Chains A and B, each alone.
Chain A
Amino acid sequence: MQFFVTKTGLDAFDTARAWGLAVLLNVLTQDEVRLQDASWAFILEPKGCIPQNAQLTGLGSWVTLFNAVDVQWDSVFVTQRGRQEEKKGQVRQILETQLHSLLSDLQRPDNLVEIGSGENVPGGLEPAAFKGLRHVTKASYREDQLKVSEGHWALSCLGMATCGTYRFSREAGQYRWLVLLPVPQNVHFNYFRDVQELMRPSGLRYIGVQNAAAHYSVQLTEQLRRRAAAQGSLQDRFSAILYFTLFGTRQQVKPSQGNQLNLTPLMDAIQEDPHGTEAMLKWLDYCFRLGATRGAEELALAVTELVMRWDLDAYEKLVKVFVRFIARNQVRYDNLPYERTLLGVMKNVKV
C-alpha cells in the first residue's frame, strides 16, 4: 500500500509532512516504513498492514510522541509562544479524528494540499511561512499567514517535532535557533529516534549556520557509513539537509538565513566504499572540531566551503589553510591525514 506526499514547493513543509506520515504509519503498523523521494512526491510504503479500524487513541507509542521530552513541540511552535501546549493538543486531536480520511486521501497520487485556508504553518517549521517573504509587500504590510489544510498541517508539525533538530546557541555573536531537517531519498524508517540520532548535537561553537550544517552533514554521513559498513551496503540515503536560522527580536521570532546542503557527493562516497571513507570523514570531522576553537575560524570556513561545494577552489583553500595550522604546531601528528585519506577527499572533488 503506497502513500503519496505530493510536493508543494515549500521544502521544509513537504519534507516534514513526509517524516510526519512515516511516524504515523510506523505507529499504526509497528513496523518499518519505506520513504522514497520521487521528485514530485515522497512515496511511503509501510511494510506492515494498517488494521481495518485502526485508532491512534490509546496506543502507547502514539502517547509517547506527545509526552517525551525529546520531541520538540515547543521549538516547532516557537513563533506561537504561550500557545505551544494548545497547538500540540490540536495536532494530536486532528490526527486522531481525521486519521482515516487523511490516510485515504494520501493514497491518491493526485492529492494536493489546499493552500489559503485551514491552519497557519508555523515559522519554526517552514521559514517561507513568515510574512513578507512570499510576495512583494510594498508599502503596506498586508500579506496573510500561510494557511494549509488541517490534516497536512498536523502531519508536518508531527514530522518536524520528531525528526527535525533545533539548536539554540550563540553563533557569530548572536543567539539563534538553528533548525535542521534531513531530506530522505531512500530511507527505511523504523523509529523516529533513529533519525534524531543522525543529527545529534555536537556541542561545538560554530561560526555560522553553514558551518553548523556542514558539520552535521559530515556527522550524519559518518553514522550512515557505520551502518553501511555493518550491513554490507548503504541502506538509507539522504539527498540534502535543509537548514535555516531563526532569531528573536524584541517581540517576535524572525527567520534570517537558510538553504539546503546537497549530500549527494558524501552519499555516493559511502555507497561506493563504506570502509574506505572512514578516514576521510574522520579527518573532515577533525577539521570542523579544530575550526570550532578560538582563532581557527579560517579552517572552519575552508572545510565548510569544501563540504558545500566540493570543487577544486574549496579543496585547495582547505589544504592551504590546514598546512598553515601544521606550521603553527596546532595540529598533533596523530591528526595528520594519510595519503589515502586525502585521496578519498579528492575522489569527491570536481575540477
Chain B
Amino acid sequence: MSKCEAQRLEEVFSDPAVREFGSALRRALRLNDDYASLMEFEFAETPEAFADALRRFLRRYETLARRYNLRRPSESALESIVRLADDYGVRMIRAALISHALCRAEREAEGGEQ
C-alpha cells in the first residue's frame, strides 16, 4: 500500500470543508431522513455532477436549518469541497463525506469519552 496515498483519505476526511458538509449531512439524515441527497451523492460520477448534488443538498438543508436553527455550510466550504473533488476525485470526497454522516458528532464524542 502506498502510505502517501492512504494518508490522502485521512486528510480529506479531516478537511474543514468536508467536516462542515459531513456534519450537515449527518443532521439532515438523522433529523430529516434526507436519503435523496445520499442517493444523489452516490450517483454523481464527475466533479460537476457532485457539485450539483451538493447545491441541491444545500437547498434541502435550508428548510431543516430554518426549522431547527442549525448552522449552514458556508459558501467558502462549498468552493473548497468542489475544489477537493477536482483534485482528489469524487469517490474519495464522497467516502469521506458519508463517513462523517455515520460517525458520532464531535461534541457527542467528547461527551461519550467523559
Residues of B near A343 (CB, < 8 A) are: 10, 13-14
With contacts A343-B10, A346-B13 taken as known, whether A337 is within 8 angstroms of B102 at the C-beta atoms is yes
Whether B91 sits at the interface, judged by CB under 8 Å, is: yes
Residues of B near A342 (CB, < 8 A) are: 13, 99, 102-103
Q: Say which residue of A312, A338, A348 sits within 8 Å of B92 (CB atoms).
A: A312
A312, B91: Cβ atoms under 8 Å? yes
Cα A188 to Cα B13 in complex, Å, equals 38
With contacts A265-B1, A320-B98, A350-B2 taken as known, whether A337 is within 8 angstroms of B10 at the C-beta atoms is no
Whether B33 sits at the interface, judged by CB under 8 Å, is: yes
**Nearest neighbor of B113 in chain A, beta-carbon distance:** A338
A337, B8: Cβ atoms under 8 Å? no
Cα A338 to Cα B99 in complex, Å, equals 10
What's the minimum C-beta distance from B50 to chain A, rounded to whole angstroms? 13
Whether B83 sits at the interface, judged by CB under 8 Å, is: no
Whether A114 sits at the interface, judged by CB under 8 Å, is: no
With contacts A265-B1, A320-B42 taken as known, whether A349 is within 8 angstroms of B9 at the C-beta atoms is yes
B6, A349: Cβ atoms under 8 Å? yes
Q: Say which residue of A323, A327, A337, A339 sits within 8 Å of B106 (CB atoms).
A: A339
**Nearest neighbor of A344 in chain B, beta-carbon distance:** B10
Whether B55 sits at the interface, judged by CB under 8 Å, is: no
Q: How many residues of B contact A (CB 8 A)?
A: 29
CB-contacts of B74-114 with A (<8 A): 91-92, 94-95, 98-104, 106, 109, 112
Whether B44 sits at the interface, judged by CB under 8 Å, is: no
Residues of A near B112 (CB, < 8 A) are: 338
Whether A310 sits at the interface, judged by CB under 8 Å, is: yes
Cα A316 to Cα B15 in complex, Å, equals 18
Q: Say which residue of B29, B95, B109 sits within 8 Å of A315 (CB atoms).
A: B95
CB-contacts of A276-323 with B (<8 A): 310, 312-313, 315-316, 319-320, 322-323
With contacts A351-B8, A351-B9 taken as known, whether A326 is within 8 angstroms of B29 at the C-beta atoms is yes
Residues of A near B102 (CB, < 8 A) are: 319, 322-323, 326, 336-337, 342
What's the minimum C-beta distance from A21 to chain B, rounded to whole angstroms? 32
Whether A107 sits at the interface, judged by CB under 8 Å, is: no
Whether A135 sits at the interface, judged by CB under 8 Å, is: no
Residues of A near B1 (CB, < 8 A) are: 265, 310, 348, 350
